[in-house]
Amino acid sequence: MEFNLGNLILNLRQQAKVAWPSMVKIYISAVVVLMIAIIVGRIAGLTSYVLISDPAESNHLSPYTGLISNLCILGWGASAAICIFTAFVTQLNEYFYQRWFKFFLISGIFSTWLGLDDLLQIHESIGEFLGELAGANNPLLDNLLEGVVFIIYFGLFVVYTVYFRKHIQRTEYLFLILAFGLFAFSIAIDTLISDTAFSGKYLLEKTPKFLGIVSWLIYFSRTGILSIQKYLFTPSRVE
């Protein structure tokens, strides 16, 4: 196929004409998010360099610093992307949309929030804040107060599983149960054992968390793929 500059320009103009409304919404949203991040950074007393640059670079650390933590965040992000993508794919089939749109959308939002919590250490910040309100400067107390946040997350997990129990029963929920169990084990270690208790505490805490996120990702990947296959390629077999 020969390169034709005229056709290239014409195609770009046609694409821009069709995509213009979506482009405006997307880029305005992206700029708003960037502005919010800058404002939050200013409130926290961070310079533009520290806010924008890679943490390892700004602190002159090895690029492998926080590797497992970064992989965990990528796992949350991948799970969220798969769920939200599948939620929009459900619109291609009315029955698929009615039965599964809400499940995948809420699962995507939930995964996004858990990823943000992991990225920004929201639960730890809340634990420290509650500790300051209590007027105590005790790491163990901070861990216990941090457990309050985990209890809230546990409650959300329970509400999620109860509300979507019929959906979950139709899926290969082994990996979802594994994810819940591994998360619970990691949280128990994080809450009940002091950070200075022994040198391998972080490894003991992060390993089940990482495996839990892997299980979470596998569950929604397989559920999304199998749902799309069932409702879009074998419509006569839908349940």
pLDDT by position in tens, the chain (length 239): 566 788 888 899 999 999 999 999 999 999 999 999 889 888 888 888 888 888 888 788 888 888 999 999 999 999 999 999 999 999 999 888 999 999 999 999 999 999 999 998 887 777 666 666 666 566 656 666 667 788 888 899 999 999 999 999 999 999 999 999 999 999 888 777 766 667 778 888 899 999 999 999 999 999 999 999 988 887 555 45
Q: Look at residues 27, 45, 61 and tell me which one is the last residue of a structural domain.
A: 61
What is the three-class DSSP state of 53?
coil
Residue 38 to residue 51: CA distance in whole angstroms: 7
Domain limits at 23? 1-61
Of 23, 42, 61, the residue that ends a domain is 61
User: Residue 38: its pLDDT value, please?
Assistant: 87
| Rounded Cα distance, 220 and 173, in Å | 10
Closest CA to 124 of 187, 214, 44, 216: 187
- What is the rounded distance in angstroms from the CA atom of residue 16 to the CA atom of residue 8? 12
Same domain, 182 and 205: yes
Burial of 233: CB neighbours in 10 Å, binned 0-12, 13-18, 19+: exposed
Distance of CA 49 to the CA centre of its chain: 25
95/195 same-domain check: yes
Does 197 share its domain with 157? yes
> DSSP secondary-structure letter at 231?
I
Of 44, 61, 78, the residue that ends a domain is 61
Taking the CB of residue 89, how many other CB atoms lie within 10 A of it?
19
Angle separating helix axes 201-228 and 94-120, nearest 10 degrees: 160
3-state secondary structure of 59: coil
Give the pLDDT confidence score for residue 239 in this predicted structure.
52
Domain count along the chain: 2
Question: CA distances (Å), 52 to each of 16, 46, 120, 161, 223, in order?
Answer: 30, 10, 14, 38, 36
Q: What are phi and psi of 24, to 5 degrees?
A: -60, -45
